[in-house]
């Protein structure tokens, strides 16, 4: 072939040869872990320091300008700890001083892709915060009196280990509890508690996301959605909490991509949130009406035939529903469709308009946009509506109804179950399920609760249901975060209810003031964890690490204890729990030590290097090979890059056929659920999913027969998407077994004359719950939480101007805040963001000088008064910036004025409040609070009456359906309800 017919060939050789030469050079470069194309690649990537220069990255010092003074950095990856989305950070470790100078994004992280929100770089503020806790301390006077003495870690460990050992020996397992705020890891703490044999895991989830989770769990057997926003045609967000606040970065960047391609964004949010400002359709509904809107859209899809019939036929448990609820009608899909066609007749656009206050024509237009999305419909609901209302869990259940009608489940641009987009590696040791049941967290009144009834703990302790010998809070601030914080103070200061109270925290907070021990824990750059979160159709695992430890090890040093590199005596939890467990069981006789022991060197303590080294070697598919290609061990690779993508494009897991080796002696029930006698293979990914029960012969549920093919299905009892929940029907709630609409406790019909709804479930994307106060940049960005009110309401309340003080009266007290008069909120509704109103006692530690007001807290009988003594202002410290504080406001701690509102099904605290707003009284100061805890008790009792206890509803004598998700699941026999006294007597 001549040159003229074979392109690229000439006398000098072929262009293809030249291309091969470049390919070879590129491959060799990449094999060394270096970057071939070093500049911005321009296609899909921004500019980042090339990874081969991470050992010695040079930047010019801005402070030295105009001189060109070079700064040499070692770049060490870690995982952000300032929300739960686990974005990648790169710590810039100054090679000269050995300190961290700043944090930026980690371009090697598959979830965050080098990008961060403001909270990530603000980690440096937390690290260098002059008010952070650096040493272990024990109180030196009465609880809450403000006296502290520095102690050694040995003293703290020995004291705590002694108490716990004694409690275990005396079978008081349920008197030990660890209460988590920001988890930031995947299961480590649960396994520590399992190793102790205690059911002592408590979480903040029932004041956070339980409502949202519940709606998804009853459909999927998996309690979180994973929307593929980036590939969606229509993005439908019930409130913008997740997208504007909690998971701002990974979601926002993908929504932005979708919008650039023309995707429509629909936001249901009563106030004009950051996300709503970017929406194509901003719907501002009456709070609590969101499920009605969802059902009107669903009805539109059904009645116009714009749903995916084949998907519904194949994947909904319609046959089970017809059998249970329409036994007299033919059990065919066509008959189900006839039933479905009339099932939501009530939910016309006019009905939804009447409930929501949004006109029917707009709702119809939005429904049409949704219908046009097909399988590229991504949706999300997390806090806000699902967390605000009685029955809020139906918001996410009805939301998923739309996805399930469209067939937009685990499709490109659709919504996945999170467990398919998350990777939790199996650890070196897996202790057995505890043999006890913690009634203080999992009371019988709430058999279907999604998570621990954590916010009711003070009331349960006051009820005398139990007591705590040793109570840990861990990166948690229950007094400030929970509703009814004064009741928390009452029990935390009562040593008969809480014997020893330990705060594991990097920073001072309102709860730590009342602790017996305050133990300093590391921030995101000072601790080890693995963490993975659903963000696209793929699975990755991120590694959080003490960056100075990794930097010094990279430089050739040997570090055996993270305290060697952390500031002061700040520790990390992994090493703390291992050490504490050894001291509880020094000779191994309690059976605890074995789970914290080296496998490589039996009899020796497990090190974090061995723990993570084993995990990355044995439980992360592909990582050992990838590491080996660069001449690294898997642990070395993770220390160098910080995150590993295990898979991408996993797609619809439910459609996968079950392999033959898992099918042995199978049984198929009348609805197609397939059970097998073959044991479950021990996969490396232990991501939590529900556990549908076995058949009567003990075979495990393995799949579901769909059109004659055994597919993996969903981890629900039926193996299908549960449009109708037998669990809800069987456990006393048949009226809510289908996706439906429950009128909220703040529905207009339930408001008294003069009351309005207070939304309290939103926050700003720059806030980090308790720890934002220790981030000076974030303090400067936002430091107050005014009460949003519409101009019409302001006039009605007698509030003349933005900035005027108002009293907001709740069921148990009031708070004083400033008004913000804005058109950005629906008339008849007011709103106040959480994450503000931090306070410290006048005689307590400083806490955070940039965001905590000084208050006087007084207590008389059941009445608590908090009076603002001083706001914030400039002060001298080792950080010169504290002398530059220009603001004085800190906002108001509104949560403490809310009574508890446990949803009887999900157990979620229903945050929305019915309040009255009026001008403040003379003498009121911004941030003042008054609360009557006797009224709190009454509110608790009133809501408790809504519950349907397991003792009255259980279909099988258990406390709770075993298939449901539950953190730290105890062993099977603990699920049995206690036998009533008279039965045992007889």
CA 710 to chain centre: 34
Q: Cβ closer to another protein: 29 or 877?
A: 29
Residue 825 is given by DSSP the state B
- Rounded Cα gap, residues 593 and 86, in angstroms: 30
Q: Cβ closer to another protein: 22 or 842?
A: 22
How many residues touch another protein under the rule CB under 8 A: the total is 30
Between 8 and 37, how does the x/- string for binding to another protein read (CB under 8 A)? x-x---xxxxxxxxxx-xx--x------xx
CB of 763: closest distance to another protein in angstroms? 29
By the rule CB under 8 A, 39 interacts with another protein = yes
- Rounded Cα gap, residues 54 and 913, in angstroms: 51
Interface of this chain with another protein, residues 672 to 691, rule: CB under 8 A: none
Q: Which stretch binds another protein (CB under 8 A): 7-15, 238-246, 828-836, 935-943?
A: 7-15
Between 213 and 252, how does the x/- string for binding to another protein read (CB under 8 A)? ----------------------------------------
CB of 559: closest distance to another protein in angstroms? 34
Helix (H) or strand (E) holding 396: helix 393-406
CA torsion 397-400-405-407 (nearest 10°) is -150
Q: Residue 168 in contact with residue 436, Cβ under 8 Å?
A: no
Q: Which stretch binds another protein (CB under 8 A): 40-48, 593-601, 631-639, 899-907?
A: 40-48
CB of 9: closest distance to another protein in angstroms? 8
- Rounded Cα gap, residues 221 and 154, in angstroms: 44
| Nearest alpha-carbon partner for 775 in 888, 882, 873, 874 | 882
Q: Cβ closer to another protein: 37 or 842?
A: 37
CB of 378: closest distance to another protein in angstroms? 16
CB of 51: closest distance to another protein in angstroms? 14
Residue 246: CB partners within 8 Å, gap ≥ 6?
83, 84, 85, 382, 383
- Rounded Cα gap, residues 830 and 917, in angstroms: 9
Q: Cβ closer to another protein: 20 or 884?
A: 20
Strands 839-841 and 853-860, how do they pair? parallel
Q: Cβ closer to another protein: 2 or 697?
A: 2
Among 1, 11, 169, 260, binds another protein (CB under 8 A): 260
CB of 214: closest distance to another protein in angstroms? 35
Q: Cβ closer to another protein: 12 or 985?
A: 12
From start to end of 920-985, where are the E strands?
929-932
Strands 643-648 and 538-544, how do they pair? antiparallel
Residue 456: CB partners within 8 Å, gap ≥ 6?
443, 900, 902, 940
Among 55, 59, 257, 335, binds another protein (CB under 8 A): 257
Q: Which stretch binds another protein (CB under 8 A): 6-14, 356-364, 761-769, 962-970?
A: 6-14
Q: Cβ closer to another protein: 15 or 934?
A: 15
| Nearest alpha-carbon partner for 73 in 87, 89, 53, 88 | 53
CB of 43: closest distance to another protein in angstroms? 5
Q: Cβ closer to another protein: 43 or 682?
A: 43
- Rounded Cα gap, residues 375 and 269, in angstroms: 24
At residue 101, φ and ψ (nearest 5 deg) are -95, -35
CB of 24: closest distance to another protein in angstroms? 8
The DSSP code sequence of 548-575 is: HHHHHHHTT----SGGGTSSTT-B-HHH
- Rounded Cα gap, residues 949 and 907, in angstroms: 12
Among 2, 67, 70, 262, binds another protein (CB under 8 A): 262
Q: Cβ closer to another protein: 285 or 414?
A: 414
Q: Which stretch binds another protein (CB under 8 A): 38-46, 263-271, 290-298, 463-471?
A: 38-46
CA torsion 282-284-289-290 (nearest 10°) is 20
Among 42, 63, 67, 68, binds another protein (CB under 8 A): 42
CB-based burial of residue 981 (10 Å sphere; 0-12 exposed, 13-18 middle, 19+ buried)?
A: exposed
Q: Cβ closer to another protein: 63 or 68?
A: 68
CB of 37: closest distance to another protein in angstroms? 5
Interface of this chain with another protein, residues 314 to 353, rule: CB under 8 A: none
Q: Residue 729 in contact with residue 889, Cβ under 8 Å?
A: no
Q: Cβ closer to another protein: 215 or 413?
A: 413
CA 606 to chain centre: 29
CB of 57: closest distance to another protein in angstroms? 13
CB of 260: closest distance to another protein in angstroms? 5
Tokens of 807: 């009293």
Residue 755: CB partners within 8 Å, gap ≥ 6?
914, 915, 916
Q: Cβ closer to another protein: 47 or 555?
A: 47
Q: Cβ closer to another protein: 39 or 861?
A: 39
Number of Cα atoms under 13 Å in the Cβ half of residue 925: 16
| Nearest alpha-carbon partner for 606 in 617, 618, 592, 620 | 592
- Rounded Cα gap, residues 617 and 612, in angstroms: 8
Q: Cβ closer to another protein: 262 or 681?
A: 262
CB of 655: closest distance to another protein in angstroms? 16
Q: Residue 119 in contact with residue 83, Cβ under 8 Å?
A: yes
Please say whether the dihedral angle defined by the alpha carbons of residues 303, 305, 310 and 315, taken in this order, is positive or negative.
negative
CB of 978: closest distance to another protein in angstroms? 57
| Nearest alpha-carbon partner for 135 in 573, 569, 579 | 569
- Rounded Cα gap, residues 102 and 100, in angstroms: 6
CB of 8: closest distance to another protein in angstroms? 4
CB of 229: closest distance to another protein in angstroms? 13
Helix (H) or strand (E) holding 237: strand 234-238
Q: Cβ closer to another protein: 70 or 749?
A: 70
Instruction: Give per-residue burial for 517-530: e unless 16+ CB within 10 Å, then b.
Output: bbbbbbbbbbbbbb
CB of 674: closest distance to another protein in angstroms? 29
Q: Which stretch binds another protein (CB under 8 A): 4-12, 459-467, 760-768, 824-832?
A: 4-12
Residue 933: CB partners within 8 Å, gap ≥ 6?
484, 486, 487, 490, 812, 862, 863, 864
Our CA angle for 875, 877, 882, nearest 5°, is: 50
Among 32, 72, 261, 329, binds another protein (CB under 8 A): 261
CB of 259: closest distance to another protein in angstroms? 10
Interface of this chain with another protein, residues 46 to 85, rule: CB under 8 A: 46
Among 41, 664, 802, 952, binds another protein (CB under 8 A): 41
Q: Cβ closer to another protein: 44 or 801?
A: 44
CB of 189: closest distance to another protein in angstroms? 39
Q: Cβ closer to another protein: 38 or 430?
A: 38
Q: Cβ closer to another protein: 11 or 682?
A: 11
Footprint on this chain of another protein (rule: CB under 8 A): 7-8, 10, 14-23, 25-26, 29, 36-44, 46, 257, 260-262
């Amino acid at each position: 072939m001549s040159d003229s017919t074979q392109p690229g060939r000439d006398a000098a050789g072929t262009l293809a040869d030249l291309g091969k030469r470049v390919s070879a050079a590129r491959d060799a470069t990449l094999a060394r872990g270096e970057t071939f194309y070093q500049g911005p690649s321009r296609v899909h990537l921004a500019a980042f320091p090339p990874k081969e220069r991470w050992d010695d990255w040079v930047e010019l010092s801005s402070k030295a300008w105009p001189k060109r003074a070079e700064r040499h950095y070692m770049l060490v990856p870690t995982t952000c700890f300032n929300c739960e989305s686990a974005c990648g950070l790169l710590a810039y470790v100054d090679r000269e001083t050995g300190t961290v100078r700043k944090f930026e994004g980690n371009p090697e992280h598959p979830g965050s892709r080098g990008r961060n929100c403001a909270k990530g770089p603000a980690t440096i503020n937390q690290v260098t915060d002059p008010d952070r806790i650096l040493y272990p301390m024990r109180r030196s006077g009465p609880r809450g009196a403000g006296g502290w003495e520095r102690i050694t870690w040995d003293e703290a460990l020995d004291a705590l280990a002694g108490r716990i050992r004694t409690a275990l020996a005396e079978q008081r397992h349920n008197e030990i509890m660890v209460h988590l705020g920001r988890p930031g890891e995947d299961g480590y703490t649960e396994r520590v508690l399992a190793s102790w044999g205690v059911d002592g895991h408590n979480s903040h989830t029932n004041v956070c996301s339980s409502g949202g989770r519940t709606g998804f769990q009853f459909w999927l057997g998996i309690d979180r959605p994973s929307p593929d926003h980036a590939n969606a045609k229509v993005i439908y967000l019930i409130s913008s909490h997740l997208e504007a606040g909690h998971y701002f970065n990974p979601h926002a960047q993908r929504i932005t991509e979708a919008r650039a391609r023309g995707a429509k964004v629909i936001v249901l949010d009563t106030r004009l949130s950051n996300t709503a400002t970017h929406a194509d359709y901003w719907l501002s509904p009456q709070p609590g009406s969101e499920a009605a809107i969802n059902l009107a859209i669903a009805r539109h899809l059904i009645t116009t035939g714009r749903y995916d019939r084949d998907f519904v036929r194949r994947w909904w448990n319609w046959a089970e529903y017809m059998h249970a609820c329409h036994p007299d009608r033919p059990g065919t899909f066509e008959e189900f469709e006839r039933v479905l066609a009339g099932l939501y007749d009530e939910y016309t656009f006019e009905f939804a308009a009447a409930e929501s206050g949004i006109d029917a024509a707009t709702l119809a237009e939005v429904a049409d946009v949704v219908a046009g999305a097909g399988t590229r419909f991504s949706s999300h609901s997390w806090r806000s509506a699902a967390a605000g209302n009685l029955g809020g869990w139906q918001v996410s259940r009805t939301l998923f109804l739309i996805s399930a009608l469209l067939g937009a489940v685990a499709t490109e641009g659709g919504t996945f179950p999170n467990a398919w987009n998350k990777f939790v590696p199996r650890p070196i040791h897996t202790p057995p399920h505890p043999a006890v049941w913690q009634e203080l967290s999992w009371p019988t009144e709430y058999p279907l609760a999604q998570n621990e009834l954590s916010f009711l703990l003070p009331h349960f302790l006051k009820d005398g249901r139990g007591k705590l010998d040793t109570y840990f809070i861990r990166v948690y601030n229950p007094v400030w975060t929970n509703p009814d914080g004064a009741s928390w103070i009452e029990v935390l200061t009562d040593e008969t209810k809480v014997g020893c109270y330990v705060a594991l925290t990097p920073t001072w907070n309102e709860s730590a003031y009342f602790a017996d021990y305050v133990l300093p824990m590391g921030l995101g750059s000072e601790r080890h964890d693995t963490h993975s979160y659903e963000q696209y159709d793929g699975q990755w695992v991120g590694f959080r690490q003490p960056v100075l430890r990794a930097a010094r090890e990279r430089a050739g040093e040997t570090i055996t204890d993270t305290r060697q590199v952390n500031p002061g005596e700040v520790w990390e939890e992994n090493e703390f729990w291992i050490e504490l467990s050894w001291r509880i069981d020094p000779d191994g006789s309690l059976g605890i030590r074995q789970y914290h022991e080296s496998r490589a060197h039996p009899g020796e303590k497990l090190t974090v290097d061995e723990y993570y080294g084993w995990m990355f070697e044995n439980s992360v598919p592909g990582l050992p090979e990838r590491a080996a290609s660069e001449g690294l061990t898997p642990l070395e690779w993770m220390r160098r890059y910080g995150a590993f993508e295990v898979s991408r494009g996993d797609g619809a897991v439910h459609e996968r056929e079950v392999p033959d080796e898992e099918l042995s002696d199978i049984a198929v029930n009348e609805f197609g659920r397939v059970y097998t006698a073959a044991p479950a293979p021990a996969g490396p990914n232990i991501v939590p999913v529900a556990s549908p029960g076995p058949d009567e012969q003990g075979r495990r549920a393995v799949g579901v027969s769909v059109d004659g093919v055994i597919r993996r299905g969903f981890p629900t009892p039926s193996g299908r998407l549960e449009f109708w929940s037998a669990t809800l029907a069987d456990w006393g709630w048949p009226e809510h077994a289908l996706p439906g609409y429950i009128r909220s406790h703040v529905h207009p019909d339930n408001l008294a004359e003069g009351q309005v709804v207070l939304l309290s479930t939103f926050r700003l994307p720059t806030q980090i719950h308790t720890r934002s106060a220790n981030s000076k940049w974030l303090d400067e960005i936002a430091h107050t939480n005014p009460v949003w009110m519409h101009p019409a309401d302001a006039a009605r309340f007698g509030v003349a101007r933005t900035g005027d003080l108002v009293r907001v009266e709740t069921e148990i007290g009031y708070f004083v805040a400033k008004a913000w008069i804005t058109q950005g909120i629906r008339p008849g509704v007011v709103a106040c963001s959480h994450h503000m109103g931090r306070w410290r006692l006048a005689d307590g530690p400083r806490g955070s000088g940039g965001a905590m007001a000084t208050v006087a807290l007084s207590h008389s009988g059941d009445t608590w008064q908090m009076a603002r003594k001083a706001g914030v202002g400039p002060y001298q410290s080792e950080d010169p910036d504290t002398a530059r504080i220009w603001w004085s406001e800190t906002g108001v701690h509104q949560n403490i004025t809310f009574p508890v509102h446990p949803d009887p099904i999900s157990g979620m605290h229903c945050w929305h409040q019915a309040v009255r707003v009026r001008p403040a009284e003379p003498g009121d100061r911004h941030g003042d609070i008054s609360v009557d805890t006797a009224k709190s008790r009454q509110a608790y009792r009133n809501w408790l009456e809504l519950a349907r206890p397991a003792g009255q509803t259980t279909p099988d004598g258990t406390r709770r359906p075993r298939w449901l998700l539950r953190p730290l699941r105890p062993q099977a026999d603990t699920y049995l309800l206690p036998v009533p006294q008279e039965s045992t007597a007889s």
